[in-house]
């Protein structure tokens, strides 16, 4: 059922593979469009921005690190930034990139973990009480101010944080 999206992004990165890109486009572009419409864009703007987001995926494929984030998470961050730019016309400073790039041959177990995080979180989201899930969704659609956000999400984020933290520690050690 679940396609190996990370492998498709790596094919875009390494071979500029258009068939791989088309598969990613068919899956993610309609989701990005819906996300942007829920954030207040009309259908025309949302469609245009969804194309921008997918073009950015092509252009920045070399920056994608499949051992730290799933493709869905990475696409979400690109779509979020496009939303801030297009709908709020604001700048969004980004954290400094890590001193090492993505590893050319990522550890397959870590890649699988990152993809599974998204599935596990999706399942956990669907089990939340409606009211709580609606609040999280509104936050991510840009519909809440920071003071209205309650960060107690009820989602299992600790394991994801720990896994990423361990990977960062290990890579910093290798670097020094």
Partner 1 sequence: MSIRHHLTDQLLMAYAAGDLPEAFNLVVATHVSLCDECRARLASYEAVGGAMLEGADVAEMSDDSLAACLDRIDGLSQANARRPLKRAGIFPAPLADYIGGGPNKVKWRNLGMGVKQAILPTGKDASARLLYIPGGQAVPDHGHRGLELTLVLQGAFRDETDRFGPGDIEIADEAMEHTPIAESGEVCICLAATDAPLRFNAIIPRLAQPFLRI
| Spatial distance between the Cα atoms of 167 and 135, rounded to a whole number of angstroms | 31
Residues sharing a CB contact under 8 Å with residue 75, sequence separation 6 or more, in sequence order: 28, 31, 32, 53, 57
Among 49, 74, 110, 113, binds partner 1 (CB under 8 A): 74
Task: Classify residue 15 as exposed, middle or buried by CB count within 10 Å of its CB (0-12, 13-18, 19+).
Answer: exposed
Q: Which is nearer to partner 1, 108 or 134 (CB)?
A: 134
Q: Does 10 bind partner 1 (CB under 8 A)?
A: no
Among 9, 10, 49, 69, binds partner 1 (CB under 8 A): 69
CB of residue 40 to partner 1, shortest distance in Å: 12
CB of residue 109 to partner 1, shortest distance in Å: 17
Subset of residues 148 to 167 that bind partner 1, contact rule: CB under 8 A: 149-153, 155, 157-158, 160-162, 164-165
Tokens of residue 173, six digits: 């050690």
Tokens of residue 146, six digits: 């920071």
Size of the site for partner 1 (CB under 8 A): 85
Q: Does 22 bind partner 1 (CB under 8 A)?
A: yes
Please name which of 59, 37, 58 lies closest in space to residue 49, comparing C-alpha atoms: 37
For residue 29, the SS3 value is: helix
Subset of residues 29 to 58 that bind partner 1, contact rule: CB under 8 A: 29-35, 37-38, 43, 46-47, 50-51, 54-55, 58
């Amino acid at each position: 059922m679940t396609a190996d999206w990370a492998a498709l992004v790596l094919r875009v990165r390494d071979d500029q593979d258009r068939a791989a890109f088309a598969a990613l486009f068919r899956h993610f572009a309609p989701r990005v469009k819906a996300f942007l419409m829920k954030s207040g864009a009309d259908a025309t703007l949302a469609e245009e921005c969804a194309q921008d987001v997918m073009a950015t995926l092509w252009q920045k494929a070399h920056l994608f690190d499949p051992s730290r984030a799933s493709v869905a998470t990475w696409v979400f961050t690109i779509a979020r930034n496009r939303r801030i730019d297009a709908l709020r016309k604001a700048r969004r400073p980004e954290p400094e990139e890590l001193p090492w790039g993505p590893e050319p041959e990522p550890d397959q177990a870590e890649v699988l973990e990152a993809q599974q995080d998204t599935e596990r979180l999706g399942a956990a989201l669907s089990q939340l009480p409606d009211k709580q899930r609606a609040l999280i969704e509104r936050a991510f659609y840009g519909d809440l101010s920071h003071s209205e956000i309650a960060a107690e999400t009820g989602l299992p984020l600790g394991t994801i944080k720990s896994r990423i933290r361990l990977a960062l520690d290990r890579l910093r050690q290798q670097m020094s």
